[in-house]
Structure 1
């Protein structure tokens, strides 16, 4: 059953997680003659927005003996980091081909790492079956406390740049986009996905979450085969605009960020900028979220 997440939960989450996360800055700038705001969330502890949801969820309810999760990389690193901050043991399941740039850091944060299966859903099934008495499974995106925690990023955008009229976010399972939608009021949430990882786009077209194939250079971060039920319920709204970008476009946007600003992000985080550069976003002053930087990054240009 879908659980409703009141927008007020985002404000409560912001107060709860404040001692443990960074308030990341915004950068007002002009790109190709047009004003934009960049939310520099790649500067977050653990290298992505995921820490917000992990900390908020672990601070809610009874303290578990151990937290268990599954991840393509960023959520696992966030849970490992949050668990370390709060003194809770953690086990993280990842697909067998999860990138070393992320798995190495999960182990360095003190979590037990288990590789299982070809895709995220395989790892998630194994993780769920391994949860013991007194332990807690923490979903990557389909959970109200996780979504409320992710929404604190959107609340910061509204506080620091109240004149933005749209917020562009990359979408995998939908937790960040859903939290953002709760936090930004009547502004537009632009949900950007690679053409080869389009679980939300497919769900919006079908009117319900559906299984999709995953094939993208950004799959380690955006490789959910199915959007979460709760994120879908929040994002299935006239205030959500779904946009697809090609792998070539998001890699070009990744290089653009390095060339223009010396900002190095992972491919998934460049997807929102790719949509804007391709003129697929009708907004006067968009906020483009750079959501993560956990990859072995090299520029494709010389």
Structure 2
């Protein structure tokens, strides 16, 4: 099912043409997730229900595209806070390949449990994503395996961009799209895939401000990792390729704090019965804080891989 469209080198920043090629490439595997048109606080908004993706998160898109467009290999290795690992492990299973996923020891059990079901080899190491990634890359070099980065890979970014392309087709009246930011792959991809006239808002926790730090420094730099959403948005540094894309195709950055994220997560349950992980509530937290421009924004509900009991009251 892989088309003959040439793939962009992983070391080069992707383009909108790469996103279009990715959409064709993964169409037979990834779900075309719906958009919910709703009103909240007397205002209209759109919710892109990407938590209904096959793996419960958007990461499958990038993983599928990278495996299908990248070098042929029977064994792929990666590191992940959970959702990217689920994407890679599921993509590998769908394509008949083997996957090894390195995880921080702090990865939520809800994600490791789902990962175990894919049949991938799982190795837990360290307290943060960066440690797991360093160990996985060392293993890849030692064993001669192909390492797939969670967000600093052109084909991963292009695959994530198919989400923005879907929103453009499903909701041409949308004037802004809000995504959560960790390493920047989703924000960069959506910027490439969305209508150029649509504002892309990149919302990130104050405790994991990779994009803000990079924009302030003029290059990706190391930042803190301390947020209720860090299991999904816990990159300590914005990716080089996402930064390149964002530098040429600007987006609108904003910060939210953990209290806002927790409140937005609860609001998604109370208003729409959406039980999602903290990262998926970051866009709504930004919207509720008045940090999202536009008359009809689309909030990307990026994942739901968490065990959670809502607070009733």
TM-score bracket for this pair, using the shorter chain length: over 0.9
Match of 1:189 in 2: 200
Question: Which of 68, 77, 88 does residue 79 from structure 1 map onto?
Answer: 88
Alignment partner, residue 38 of structure 1: 47
Which of 305, 309, 313 is the matching residue for 1:294? 305
Q: 1:144 aligns with which of 151, 154, 166?
A: 154
In structure 1, C-alpha distance between the alignment counterparts of 2:248 and 2:198, rounded to whole Å: 12
Give the SS at the match of 2:149.
coil
How many angstroms apart in 1 are the aligned matches of 2:95 and 2:11?
A: 29
Q: How far apart are 1:201 and its partner, in Å?
A: 1.2
> Given that residues 191 and 249 in structure 2 are in contact (C-alpha distance below 8 angstroms), is that contact kept between their aligned partners in structure 1?
no
Q: Distance in 2 between matches of 1:163 and 1:114?
A: 45
Residue 301 of structure 1 and its aligned partner are, at CA, apart by 4.0
Higher mean C-alpha deviation, range 128-137 or range 104-113: 128-137
Superposed CA offset, 1:111-147 (max 9, x none): 0100111110100010011115562111000000000
Q: Which residue of structure 1 aligns with residue 4 of structure 2? A: none
Q: In the alignment, which residue of structure 1 is the partner of 2:125? A: 116
Which one of 64, 68, 80 corresponds to residue 59 of structure 1? 68
SS, match of residue 288 in structure 1: strand
Q: CA deviation at 1:28?
A: 1.1
- 2:197 & 2:62 partners in 1: Cα distance? 22
Alignment of 1:75-224 (within 5 A): 75-131=84-140, 135-184=145-194, 185-224=196-235
SS at match of 1:137: strand
C-alpha distance in 1, partners of 2:70/2:89?
18
What is the DSSP-based 3-state SS (H/G/I as helix, E as strand, rest coil) of the residue aligned with 1:104?
helix
Aligned position for 1:232: 243
Q: How many residues are matched?
A: 302
Give the whole-Å Cα distance in 1 for the aligned partners of 2:309 and 2:78. Answer: 29
SS in 1 for 2:305: coil
Structure 2: stretches of 5+ with no match in the other structure: 1-9
CA contact (8 A) 1:186 1:239 kept: no
Aligned to 2:6: none
Instruction: Give the Cα separation in 2 of the matches to 1:209 and 1:217.
Output: 22
Contact 2:219 2:243 in 1 (8 A): yes
Question: For residues 129 and 65 of structure 1, what CA distance do their matches in structure 2 show?
Answer: 19
User: Do the aligned residues in 2 keep the contact of 1:217 with 1:247 (CA within 8 Å)?
Assistant: yes
TM-score w.r.t. structure 1 length? 0.97
Q: Which residue is equivalent to 2:277? A: 266
Q: Distance in 2 between matches of 1:4 and 1:78?
A: 21
Give the Cα–Cα distance (whole angstroms) in 1 for the partners of residues 252 and 312 of structure 2: 31
Q: Is the 8 A contact 2:59 2:87 kept in 1?
A: yes
Q: For the Cα contact (< 8 Å) 2:11–2:154, is it kept in 1?
A: no
SS of 1:122's equivalent in the other structure is: helix
Unaligned runs of 5+ in 1: none
